[in-house]
Amino acid sequence: MTVSKKHVRVLFLITLFFLEEPFNLCSGNTDHSRFRCVESEKKALLSFKRDLEDPSDRLSSWFDGEDCCKWDGVDCDNITGHVKELNLNDGSLKGKISPSLLSLKHLSHLDLSNNYFWGSQIPKFIGSLVSLRYLDLSGSSFEGIVPHQLGNLSTLRLLHLGQSSRLYVENLHWLSGLSSLEYLNMNYVNLSKASDHWLRTINMLPSLLNLHLSFCELSHIHPLSYVNFTYLAILDMSDNQFHSTIPDWVFSLTNLVSLDLSQSKFLGSFSNVSCSLTSLITLSASSNKLNSTIPRCLCRSASLVRLDLDDNALEGKIPKFMGNLCNLETVSLQSNKLVGTVTEVFESFSGCLASSLKSLNLGENSFTGHIPEQIGEFKNLVEISLQNNKISGPIPVSLGKLSRLTTLDFSDNQLNGSLPEILGSLSNLTMLDISGNLLEGVVSEEHFANLTNLSVLYGSGNPLALRVSPEWIPPFCIHDLRLTSWNLGPQFPMWLISQKNFSSMDLSDTGISDSIPSWFWNLSLTIGYLNLSHNQIFGEVPDTLYSTINGPTIVLGSNKLTGPLPRIYSGLGVLDLSHNSFSGDISRLLCHPILDSAGMSNELSVLLLGKNNLSGEIPECWKHWPYLQVIELGSNSLTGEIPSSIGYLQELQSLHIRNNTISGEIPPSLRNCTSLKVLDFGMNKIKGSIPKWLGMSLSNLVVLGLRSNKLEGNIPHELCSLTELQVLDVADNGLVGSVPHCFDNFKAMTTKPQTLESIYSASFYEAEFLENAYVVTKGRGDEYNTILSLLVSLDLSQNNLSGEIPEQLTSLLGLMSLNLSGNILRGSIPYKIGDMTWIQSLDLSRNQLSGKIPPSMSHLTFVSQFNVSYNNLSGEIPLSTQLQSVDNSSFIGNQLCGPPLSKRCRADHETTPGSTENRGGEDDEEEFWFRLGIAMGFVVGFFGVIAPLLFYKTWRLFYFWCLKNMWHKISDCCFDLKYMVKNKFS
Ligand SMILES: *[C@@H]1O[C@H](CO)[C@@H](O)[C@H](O)[C@H]1NC(C)=O
Ligand SMILES: *[C@@H]1O[C@H](CO)[C@@H](O)[C@H](O)[C@H]1NC(C)=O
């Protein structure tokens, strides 16, 4: 422990008072209790014992023959012999607390803390033990209402009811009776019903030194014009729901030593008053919504040792005065909006703080500039985190002077240059994180020369190359190694053989072009997370994939592995063998799990085998793996039907069998997989009709992909029950009948696309697999990973659908892609199609649509792919910048006229209503932009941005800036702009 002397002294004085009485207990039990205890009190204690259950024999010394003053936990007055104290803490006592205690008229100290009075209420009669000065019932699982009778204990100095989350109060008025109270702890007690008056009541307690009201469900904190509890030294109001600013009175508590306001939904500016927290040693206000600068008034808190303001919205620069806080050891300002250069920060800190500072966390702010060499002067630094800022430049060599450093986190910045060798001298370093920077060059054995304590090394995302001799034995024993995107190859890194204690290892994309040596598989037995994906690893995997721990993740995808699939250990959690050249059938892996001897259940939740050369049928072995959530078997050569045992998988959320040769119908047992969110059977030979139950049973579906199969019949109306659906792709089948009129039930398509989190509830590792689905949009198949959840698409193309396009379709305002091409749809394009303002891709080509293109189409400002060719459309193409920038071929096979076609329309085209109706008053400007749009359309290829520009001046300026400065990169620039426009509209 390294706390300043002053700190120790003050805390000691505070705690001394409370420890004083237990000290007396010890002496009371030995020399001083020369007088036998009072007979009636002994009887009372025996009766008290009788009502208790005492599984751990805490009260074994309590029997009749003995002087009760010698009993364990009992202390008597050494003159009168009256029982003065009962210390029965940590005793596993249960049962009933007998009112016989009332006979102990002189009891001043009662401690029943940390026992197991489950289901018991705090007895009301305790309020009649009027001599009590000390009452501790904390952590003993009492529940129900806190009896107001406690308010009769007018001499009470300590009241501890904390750590009992099932206690509550109706009000706190009774507290005002405890006018001598010095210590009050009600942590976890539900005080929500006292929210309106708790503070007024506390303010009646002028002797209060120590107040703990954490997790009390308090929702109000009031201003106080007069503060009674001026001696207060410790104030903990963390984890409440105040939703207000920190009241000024807090800052007037001159004697306050420790202040904890964290996680209490405080907001607004930190402090506008001149505060007088001159005794403060620790201040925590983390995880609130404070949005001012770091309060100046802290400059008066010269004793401050620990400052924790993480996770707020603090802004501005780090104030200079902090350098003069000579006792400050911990400064934690992570996750705010602080600015300035790192050089400025270390200059501000260069006062006496430079020698006191031990832990500095400035992560997740907006600091810029270079890390100055001056950092080497902060000799006592043990931990430093600057992660996730915009810090550039090299890693300073002077870091080598910080010999006490154990944690160094510079991740996610723009640091460049090479990794200084001197880091290898930091022998206390246990954690080094330089991932997500632009560091380059070679890392050698020297870099690790003395890092004997290193257990966590994160370096992913830098183009660094590790060059060590094949015989290298590192001085460290790493637990957690992540070197994604380093160059470690082409040989498999031999030095790993000396590392026996891995819990996680990510060596993906590290240029390894080798087979995996057999010793590695022994090493991997204990690894919870192993990722060797995106290398050129060849050869076979062992016959069995085994592990000694439960639920590990093994990712070997995107390599050149060959041979049959391995048998796997039943406790495996996530297995990714996708994108390799595994061959043979799946039954070895699926049907013959190696059962865990300890009888642990099968854990497998994610199985990715897509993009291999797997053949044969999908076996009926799914019942071995009841916890599967994600199955990816796409792009293999699988045949046969979808096995009905798939219905065992009640937790299945994502099923991909795309691009195989699967035949037969969609199995009825699939209706049991009610958790399904993504179902992709596209590009197979599945026949039959789309089952009606799909719409009823799989009500969580977000993606339904049935493209390019042999499905027939109607699109069932029941599909319309899928209110979560964001992607429906039934293109290229033999579907007939009309487009159901109930498509406006697809609620998820009617609004702005959902975000990722709201779609998937899976755990961290699984989320990235879940989002994987194939969607065809903008005319090409693509693998939409992270953006899938933002995609809303409806593709009914290449079928034999007839009838009109239902008007209801136009209420799917969230659609980004709509493809109805290659059907036999007739009638006119719905007038309101222009309402679908998110549309980027619209294809109505090769139908029998007639009439005009509705003028509202000019509102489709984001359209970049547009096709109405080969219909019977006639009349003028509505004027709008983006329709005119579309290629002519998108309109051919109709009787259309006007730009962009060269065929002119008759007479009155200058004042086509559609192009002006919403733009009143800006005609001239529009004309200008329109002409610019025409001129530019061929250069840029996409003018969805123009129309919004008319309305938002700042974007207009930005656009000009784009034109002037980034001509060569114009489309990138416009992409940014398009993004801004979208956000504005959202
Ligand atoms: C009684 O105990 C107190 C401490 O609690 C001690 O100071 C005092 O001397 C003792 N009196 C006798 C008579 O032992
Ligand atoms: C201060 O405490 C005293 C004693 O309990 C009480 O009488 C008085 O009302 C309190 N003052 C305020 C403003 O609550």
Instruction: For residue 206, give the CATH number of its domain.
Output: 3.80.10.10
Helix, strand, or coil (residue 141): coil
Which residues, at least 6 apart from 967, have a Cβ–Cβ distance to it below 8 Å? Answer: none
For residue 810, tell me if it sits in a domain. Answer: no
Indicate whether residue 224 lines ligand 2 (CB < 6 A): no
The distance from CA 686 to its chain's CA centroid, rounded to whole angstroms, is 39
Strand partners for 688: 711
Q: Which residue has the higher pLDDT, 907 or 518?
A: 518
For residue 388, tell me if it sits in a domain. Answer: no
Which residues, at least 6 apart from 912, have a Cβ–Cβ distance to it below 8 Å? Answer: 855, 876, 878, 879
d(CA 403, CA 422): 11
For residue 842, tell me if it sits in a domain. Answer: no
pLDDT band at 34 (very low <50, low <70, confident <90, very high): low
What's the 193 CA to ligand 2 centre distance in angstroms?
Answer: 22
d(CA 647, CA 656): 15
- What is the enclosing helix (H) or strand (E) of 165? none
What's the 38 CA to ligand 1 centre distance in angstroms?
Answer: 18
Report the range out of 500-509, 539-548, 922-931 with the highest average pLDDT.
500-509
Angle at 782 between CA 781 and CA 786, to 5 degrees: 150
Q: Which domain holds residue 188?
A: 1-241
Which residues, at least 6 apart from 191, have a Cβ–Cβ distance to it below 8 Å? Answer: 168, 169, 172, 198, 213, 216, 217, 218
Question: Does the pLDDT at position 255 exceed 80?
Answer: yes
Q: Of the bound ligands, which one is closest to the alpha carbon of residue 178?
A: 2
For residue 286, tell me if it sits in a domain. Answer: no
Q: Which residue has the higher pLDDT, 139 or 880?
A: 139
Note the residue count of the chain. 986
Report in angstroms the alpha-carbon separations of 266 from 237, 834, 877. Answer: 11, 45, 56
> Which residue shows structure tokens 């009914």?
796
Taking the CA of residue 225 as reference, the ligand 2 atom at the shortest distance is 13
pLDDT in tens, 331-382: 999 999 999 999 999 999 988 999 999 999 999 999 999 999 999 999 999 9
What is the pLDDT, as a whole number, of residue 345? 95
Helix, strand, or coil (residue 136): strand
Report in angstroms the alpha-carbon separations of 279 from 6, 11, 251, 282, 296. Answer: 10, 11, 11, 9, 16
pLDDT in tens, 754-813: 544 444 433 333 334 444 434 444 444 444 433 344 478 899 999 999 999 999 999 998
pLDDT in tens, 189-203: 999 999 999 999 999
> Which residue shows structure tokens 């033999």?
734
Indicate whether residue 764 lines ligand 2 (CB < 6 A): no
* 3-class SS shares of the chain: helix, strand, coil, % to 5: 25, 20, 55
- CB 949, CB 955: distance < 8 Å: yes
Task: Give per-residue burial for 76-101: e unless 16+ CB within 10 Å, then b.
Answer: bbbeebbbbbbbbbebebbeebbbbb
User: Could you tell me the two tokens for 690?
Assistant: 């789309």
Indicate whether residue 128 lines ligand 1 (CB < 6 A): no
For residue 164, tell me if it sits in a domain. Answer: yes
For residue 866, tell me if it sits in a domain. Answer: no
Indicate which residue's Cα is closest to atom 4 of ligand 1: 24
User: Could you tell me the two tokens for 487?
Assistant: 């160059």
For residue 592, tell me if it sits in a domain. Answer: no
Lowest mean pLDDT among 12-21, 322-331, 653-662, 735-744: 12-21
Q: Using a pLDDT cut of 70, give the percent of the chain over it.
A: 83
Number of domains making up the chain:
1
d(CA 487, CA 677): 38
Angle at 80 between CA 76 and CA 83, to 5 degrees: 30
d(CA 210, CA 184): 6
Indicate which residue's Cα is closest to atom 11 of ligand 1: 78
Indicate whether residue 584 lines ligand 2 (CB < 6 A): no
Of the candidates 293, 283, 404, 410, the one whose C-alpha atom is nearest the C-alpha of residue 342 is 410
Strand partners for 282: 258, 306
Pocket test for ligand 1, best of 31, 32, 84 (most atoms within 8 A of CB): 32
What is the pLDDT, as a whole number, of residue 475? 95
Strand partners for 445: none
d(CA 358, CA 896): 75
d(CA 722, CA 699): 5
- CB 415, CB 393: distance < 8 Å: yes
For residue 86, tell me if it sits in a domain. Answer: yes
d(CA 630, CA 608): 8
Q: In 158-260, where does DSSP find H-type helix? A: 198-202
Write down the mean pLDDT value for the chain: 84
pLDDT in tens, 729-749: 999 999 999 999 999 889 888
What is the pLDDT, as a whole number, of residue 602? 76
